[in-house]
């Protein structure tokens, strides 16, 4: 699986946190996802290779008015027209809500290997002037999962939103959120509100997904899928805002406040981090003890928001050191996300450049060069992420963070 920012999405929306998991892809690189890895053998994401019933992508539909469904054939009255559909998915005329039509998944149970086996139905829509969106659907499972499969039932069926910078959903994918059913029998209504597109997104792909390992061969029915604009741009928001000159710093001047943690963690939003006297080149650093009681875990531990002014190209880096008190292997990452408005507000876009921590002792320096702000970006969210590979603890010291304009 290609390492992309798509998996990191709303797992860490601006200035907020939620758990996500460190796994390993087929090339051995660290990835992060909100689905648990196997504790003994990390999952590798590999969608099932299947013959598609609709061999060409369906048309891309453009946005209409507020609260108008952008998805075509959303109740499947016209069978599977307008959806890109693989084998393992069928249409029924009388199993939907009120005995109407429905989309039916029944993925086969895959072997117990290191792959994530998913069956996906999708449709791409153009966002138009939508500023916020709502995704809703009705869902029914054939059976309630019980026993050891009950705890992972939430991963069996989902509807996802992925934002794209191209109108045909071919470029710039960033994960935007999902809705998922509870483990119960009978029709249930699912809704995701206030879905804000990624910065510069022009389209969204709605994917309906069943995971073969977690669904255990049971049927799942989807009906009345809706994706609507709940807010639209005000006319005044369409014009580009010029950068505020007071935030423009000279080249090679560090934008980061309290970059070396000299006395405390002030100016940082910290989670599971504490100040310690010991540092890299001078006194002071941020010590993070990340503990997992079960599977691999990754979280954002330190972040800071910066208004960038008129500068457009930057270098970003940090120092860190693994503590010998660690009982489990782990890692981390430095990355940024760009925002269309000051103070990390408005739409955001995760940059596809990042640097990962090596699981070795001693101080090491991470650096990402030539980060280019998207046109119109007013601020940047600096993020330091740390992970532990399984049950145990992984301890890092963070220090000497810099974010400097080079142009």
Domain ranges of the chain: 46-237, 245-405
Tokens matching residue 307: 């208004």
What is the pLDDT at residue 283? 92
Burial zone of 46 (CB within 10 Å; 0-12 exposed, 13-18 middle, 19+ buried): middle
268, 304 Cβ separation under 8 angstroms: yes
Say how far apart CA 22 and CA 34 lie, in whole Å.
9
pLDDT digits (tens, 9 = 90+) for 249-260: 999 999 999 999
Lowest mean pLDDT among 47-61, 143-157, 305-319, 353-367: 47-61
Q: What is the pTM of this model?
A: 0.75
pLDDT digits (tens, 9 = 90+) for 175-205: 999 999 999 989 999 999 999 999 999 999 9
Percent of the chain past pLDDT 90, that is, above it, reads 68
pLDDT at 233 over 50: yes
pLDDT at 61 over 80: no
pLDDT digits (tens, 9 = 90+) for 307-318: 999 999 999 999
pLDDT at 225 over 80: yes
Q: Which residues of 101-133 are buried (b: 16+ CB within 10 A; e: fewer)?
A: bbbbbbbeeeeeebbbbbbbbbbbbbbeebbeb
- Is residue 250 helix, strand or coil? coil
Domain 46-237 has CATH 2.60.120.260: yes
Q: Which whole number is the average pLDDT over 283-291?
A: 95
What is the pLDDT at residue 241? 72
What is the pLDDT at residue 162? 94
**Which of 3, 23, 5, 48 has the alpha carbon at shortest distance from 296?**
23
pLDDT digits (tens, 9 = 90+) for 96-129: 999 999 999 999 898 888 788 899 999 999 998 8
* Confidence tier at 357 by pLDDT (50, 70, 90): very high
**Which of 396, 344, 334 has the alpha carbon at shortest distance from 369?**
334
pLDDT at 235 over 80: no
Q: Can 46-237 and 245-405 be said to share one CATH topology?
A: yes
What is the pLDDT at residue 65? 67
Q: Between 21 and 351, whose confidence is greater?
A: 351
Q: Which whole number is the average pLDDT over 45-70?
A: 55
* Confidence tier at 67 by pLDDT (50, 70, 90): confident
What is the CATH number that goes with domain 245-405? 2.60.120.260
Residue with tokens 């669904």: 215
Average pLDDT, the chain: 84
Say how far apart CA 261 and CA 259 lie, in whole Å.
6
């Amino acid at each position: 699986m290609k390492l992309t920012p798509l998996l990191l999405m709303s797992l860490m929306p601006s200035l907020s946190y939620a758990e996500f998991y460190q796994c390993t892809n087929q090339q051995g690189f660290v990835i992060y996802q909100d689905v648990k890895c196997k504790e003994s053998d990390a999952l590798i994401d590999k969608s099932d290779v299947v013959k598609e019933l609709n061999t060409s992508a369906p048309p891309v539909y453009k946005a209409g008015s507020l609260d108008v469904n952008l998805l075509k054939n959303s109740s499947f009255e016209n069978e599977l027209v307008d959806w890109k559909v693989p084998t393992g998915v069928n249409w029924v005329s009388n199993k939907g809500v009120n005995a109407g039509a429905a989309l039916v998944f029944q993925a086969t149970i895959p072997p117990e290997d290191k792959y994530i086996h998913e069956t996906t139905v999708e449709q791409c829509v153009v966002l138009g002037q939508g500023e916020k969106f709502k995704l809703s659907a009705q869902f029914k499972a054939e059976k309630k999962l019980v026993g050891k499969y009950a705890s992972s039932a939430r991963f069996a069926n989902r509807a996802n939103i992925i934002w794209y910078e191209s109108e045909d959903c071919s470029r710039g994918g960033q994960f935007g959120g999902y809705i998922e059913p509870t483990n119960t029998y009978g029709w249930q209504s699912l809704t995701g509100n206030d879905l804000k597109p990624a910065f510069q997104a022009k389209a969204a792909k709605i994917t309906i997904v069943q995971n073969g390992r977690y669904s255990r061969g049971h049927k799942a029915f989807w009906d009345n899928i809706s994706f609507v604009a709940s807010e639209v741009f005000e006319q005044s928001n369409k014009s580009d805002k010029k950068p505020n000159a007071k935030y423009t710093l000279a080249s090679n001047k560090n934008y980061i406040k309290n970059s070396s943690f000299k006395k405390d963690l002030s100016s940082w939003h910290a989670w599971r981090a504490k100040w310690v006297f010991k540092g890299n080149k001078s006194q002071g650093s941020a010590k993070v003890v990340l503990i997992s009681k079960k599977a691999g875990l990754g979280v954002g531990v330190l972040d800071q928001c910066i208004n960038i002014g008129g500068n457009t190209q930057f270098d970003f880096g940090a120092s860190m050191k693994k503590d010998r008190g660690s009982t489990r292997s782990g890692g981390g990452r430095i990355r940024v996300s760009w925002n269309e408005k000051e103070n990390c507000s408005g739409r955001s876009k995760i940059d596809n450049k990042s640097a990962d921590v090596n699981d070795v002792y001693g101080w090491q320096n991470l650096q990402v060069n030539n980060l280019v702000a998207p046109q119109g970006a007013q601020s940047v969210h600096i993020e330091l992420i740390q992970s532990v590979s399984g049950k145990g603890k992984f301890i890092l010291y963070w220090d000497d963070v810099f974010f400097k304009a080079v142009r």
